[in-house]
Chains A and B, each alone.
Chain A
Amino acid sequence: MSRNRLGRPPAYLLLPAGLAVALLLVPLASLVARAPFGSLLERLAAPEVLDALWLSLWTATAAMLASLVLGLPLAWLLARVEFPGRSLVRTLVTVPLVLPPVVAGVALLTAFGRTGVVGAPLRELGVTIPFTSTAVVIAHTFVALPFFVISVEGALRATSQDYDEVAAVLGARRGAIFRRVTVPLAAPGIAAGLVLGWARSLGEFGATITFAGNYPGVTQTMPLAVYTLLQEDLEAAVALSLVMLLVSVVVLALLRERWFGQAAR
């Protein structure tokens, strides 16, 4: 139809597009090809690996709970309420997206470290954060919260405010509108934001190793385990990387409907 009218896609577009696909595909395919399939199960069942996997899963989930509790109200505020400094706050939310994660780790140390702005008073109370799983959750939340907030704010903006207004006309108070109208309408966006943030948490490396340290079972998440193993046992590192790759694919499958479904339309 329209394809015939427009003619064949030109080679000078097809070629770079093909190269782009190759650039993304070749390293991933090589990773799979290099995996030690013979000893894969045995390697993945090693206690350190299971510890790292479990730690990664629960800290990423805890970070998403924190993102939900803190990020949903913030996203709502940004989408629905006019307030001075709103664009400033929105910019602030995007900073961790572009900040190198190691820098995020250093920043977290200066805030929550034992001599940090918040960390020093906490230490007086007998609480130290670095080298604990709590530090991992804080690092994950710091880097993943922007993904969640931006995703949810977009979803809130996409759903019309008219429904909120109708509910208000019918006598609902703003808190009730938020709970019973706004959030249900934005639920798919909230779910997508959670999955996206969760995936970002799972891949977090720089901020975690800088701020939380690296100890098996306590702060050594999957990416840290891969990096540590890489020093001595490439095959084991590849085996672990394969698990991370698998998780990424599952996350993409979960998000497919939302993203690729829309893009195809």
Chain B
Amino acid sequence: MLIELRGIHKTYDNGQPLHVLKGIDLGIDQGEFVSIMGASGSGKSTLLNILGILDNYDEGEYWLDGKLIKNLSETEAAHYRNCLVGFVFQSFNLINFKTAVENVELPLYYQGVSRKKRNELAMHFLEHFGLADWATHYPNELSGGQKQRVAIARALITQPRILLADEPTGALDSKTSVEVMNLLTELNRTEKVTIIVVTHESGVANCTDKIIHIKDGVIGETTMNEQHKASVFGTATIMK
């Protein structure tokens, strides 16, 4: 198992204690393409933050690639985020005053890779995503789809063990959403990237091979979706 969660509990305490995750057990294998679905407030974002080592948990164990991710110092957590995890966000989260290629190479900067080498690598990734012509453009000069592709390139440049996507199509129109989901599918098929998508759109979830439903802080049913027939709106659409 690449990812193994055992009895994860998480309580937020903002004046009043809020028990968000109530014992999550989850296993995800290398090369899987999984979506986590749930209504807002179900705890799916918290789960994603824990998976991405952005947040810590109160009880249980989280093993990622054979390493126990628990009680890490800020510096250790940063190191693991840098090498093991790639993030794709709903709002892209590109740095506005850096060009596309500078954004893509930033994770390598924190690995101490030389300037020349990381620039080469970033250009290679941008080319792969068909963005070579846009390399020196700033994020505000790019379309939503292009921004998300730059973000995916940035997430993948360190060759992480998992790619975490938090509502990756949330800010995109339906046509671009399809493109982005196709890109993720292709990455999973050809490059064997392990991808976990958090979404509340069934169309997006339908693109993945396995749908994990989360409700009120516990895992409900897990639907195997190799046939991609889970969407009530048909197989080839993303609901918008």
A and B are interacting partners:
no
Q: Hey, which bits of chain B sit against chain A, CB under 8 A?
A: none
